[in-house]
Amino acid sequence: MNKPKEKRENLIKLFLVTAKDIKTVLIKLADRYQVMQTLGTLQQKDQKRIASETLEIYAPIAHRLGMGELKGQLEDLAFKYLYPEEYQRLENEVAKIYEMHKNYIKKLEPILRKLLKKEKVVPLEINARAKHFYSLYQKLLHHQMNFDEIHDLVAARIIVKDINDCYLALGAIHQVWKPMPGLIKDYIAMPKPNGYQSLHTSVFGPEGKITEIQIRTPEMHAQAENGIAAHWAYKERNYKDKNRYPKIDAKEIAWIEQLREWQKAVRGSDEFLESLKIDFFKDRIFALTPQGDVIDLPEGATPVDFAYQIHTTIGNECAGAKINGKIAALDTRLKSGDLIEILTQKGKKPSVDWLNFVKTGLAKDKIRSVLKSNKKLGFRT
């Protein structure tokens, strides 16, 4: 039986592997976003089921694709229905704090522009970025709900023209305000796995307030907000124009509508679709048990590999298998999304022939162990 976290991870993998291309994944995310916006019209049990699924499956997928803004919105919408009391309490407490921090960032803006000017860095934009509710709630849980421990509740975000200006801006800021030890993060030199790039620093700013500052280019910002869909936003909103930086309206999520039009436009364009295919887990397949658990296996794995992955006894006593409801040979190669039922026979032992087709090291080790034991006891295999 998979642990809840492992099960969730495997469901995400199954979702990604079985999608034919990136278009399929993005359209599913777009559809889920729209469903979450109208969740209030459904019955409470359906609200909780869909919200839970969104929080455990869809939001992490958006995160993997680098869609930070969509991930945050999906989490916040789910949070509202899964933990209504906590959500309401947080909403009431945060409103004034958010406003206070945003006003502080507004006062900080002219100071930042002045010190950046000394390094001949002209920011394209300086704004305040408020932390999403669910992300804030998760962080508060680790700090006994103490808001004073949250230094990135509202961060100052600086957009500059290129990478060189990012580092010049960071140096200029550190010359004026002392950084907090251990809170300088260079995600430009070392991007996050989902492609996120930015410079982060937390400094003792004016009035002695600890302030997080993020520094990035327009391209990095587009990637951070829209992830793999960034090329649409980048192209449509003219991000390459260095004299102009159009702000993305987070509430709009314009790419959702663009995706729908794009889906119609590219239908039949094999070359374009091929260029957008994603191979997240190239050498893995994900098969299902009758109970809905997802089993992670190497490509070319068979029902015997599947059986041993569930339990040693089931593997040893494997007498047959059904794949998607139909009897299949034990050396059949499984595919992602296959529903597998293992038929067992009490007292049955593995066959030496199984070693010719099993793929997992676990299955091979277990089979050899039984064969070795049988040989010592004088049994034929």
- Summarised one tens digit per residue, pLDDT across range 195-228 is 789 999 999 998 888 899 999 999 999 888 877 6
Q: How much of the chain, in percent, has pLDDT values that exceed 90? A: 46
Three-state SS at 267: coil
- Choose one of 225, 254, 275: the last residue of a domain: 275
Flag whether 5 is in a domain.
Answer: no
Do 230 and 333 belong to one domain? Answer: no
Domain count, the chain: 2
Q: What is the pLDDT of residue 144?
A: 79
Label the pairing between strands 125-130 and 154-159.
Answer: antiparallel
Flag whether 6 is in a domain.
Answer: no
- Choose one of 247, 275, 303: the last residue of a domain: 275
Do 271 and 123 belong to one domain? Answer: yes
Alpha carbons 377 and 14: distance in angstroms, whole number:
43
Residue 181: closest CA among 202, 165, 166, 196? 202
Alpha carbons 328 and 326: distance in angstroms, whole number:
6
Q: What is the pTM of this model?
A: 0.59
Per-residue pLDDT tens over the stretch 29-86: 888 999 999 999 999 999 999 999 899 888 888 887 778 889 999 999 999 999 999 9
State the CB neighbour count (10 A cutoff) for residue 29: 22
Do 243 and 307 belong to one domain? Answer: no
Alpha carbons 260 and 34: distance in angstroms, whole number:
13
Name every residue whose Cβ is closer than 8 Å to that of residue 119 and which is 6 or more positions away in sequence: 168, 169, 171, 172
Do 116 and 233 belong to one domain? Answer: yes
Flag whether 12 is in a domain.
Answer: no
Q: What is the pLDDT of residue 1?
A: 43
Flag whether 347 is in a domain.
Answer: yes
Are 306 and 359 in contact, with CB atoms under 8 Å apart? Answer: no
Flag whether 82 is in a domain.
Answer: yes
Q: What is the pLDDT of residue 276?
A: 39
Alpha carbons 198 and 82: distance in angstroms, whole number:
32
Q: What is the pLDDT of residue 245?
A: 34
| Domain span including residue 323 | 284-377
Do 271 and 290 belong to one domain? Answer: no
Flag whether 3 is in a domain.
Answer: no
